[in-house]
Amino acid sequence: MTKLAIVYLSTQGNTKMMAEAIAKGAREKHIEVDIDNFYEWDPADVAKYDAICIGSSTFYYTMLEPIAKFLDELIDIGIEGKTGAAFGSYGWSGEAPVQIAERLRKAGVEVIDPVLRIQYIPNEKDLAECIRLGKDLAIHMKKKYS
Ligand SMILES: Cc1cc2nc3c(=O)[nH]c(=O)nc-3n(C[C@H](O)[C@H](O)[C@H](O)COP(=O)(O)O)c2cc1C
């Protein structure tokens, strides 16, 4: 069965809320989803999934070093040809999700749109967008892998 890994960095829970809503959307389309904070994941395990969705909030106009390092390790293992998505909460500039999407694309991942950025705490409408992304990912995965 085709499976989705959702990996996130979230300091106050905002990006985590987005991750959970994306998972909800994918599960509603009957995709198996594993979701956790990046420090609970081993990059080698993430690399085994068909689709990889990575989220991070933005700090000092970039993503925090630990998630950048995690991405480096994941890309070194090799994730070419997989499906991906990038997301994250931000305050005023929101670079991290864009950087994640760029790095995944360079590594040969088919990153689906939109690169989802939500300002601060997601509201109901924002969470609906996250659920939509999860559903779109699931539809894409079913077409590609089954
Ligand atoms: C010290 C600090 C630096 C930040 N720097 C940025 C920044 O450069 N650009 C931006 O868009 N948001 C910035 N933010 C805002 C966070 O990205 C925002 O609060 C976000 O909702 C946190 O999400 P999280 O709970 O998932 O970590 C900063 C927040 C803090 C506390």
Rounded to the nearest whole angstrom, what is the distance from the C-alpha of residue 5 to the centroid of ligand 1? 24
Which residues touch 114 (CB under 8 Å, ≥6 apart)?
133
- In the chain, the number of structural domains is 1
pLDDT for residue 19: 98
Per-residue pLDDT tens over the stretch 4-20: 999 999 999 999 999 99
pLDDT for residue 1: 79
Residue of 73, 72, 10, 86 whose CA lies nearest to 44: 73
Amino acid of residue 74: L
3-state class (DSSP) for residue 36: strand
Q: What parts of the chain have a pLDDT lower than 50?
A: none
Distance CA 7, CA 129 (A): 18
Terminal-residue alpha carbon distance, the chain: 8
Rounded to the nearest whole angstrom, what is the distance from the C-alpha of residue 141 to the centroid of ligand 1? 31
Distances in Å between the Cα of 138 and the Cα atoms of 39, 42, 70, 74, 125 are 25, 23, 24, 22, 20
Range of the domain at 50: 3-145
Distance CA 83, CA 58 (A): 23
CATH number, residue 80: 3.40.50.360
Mutate to test the pocket of ligand 1, among 6, 10, 58 (most ligand atoms within 8 A of CB): 58
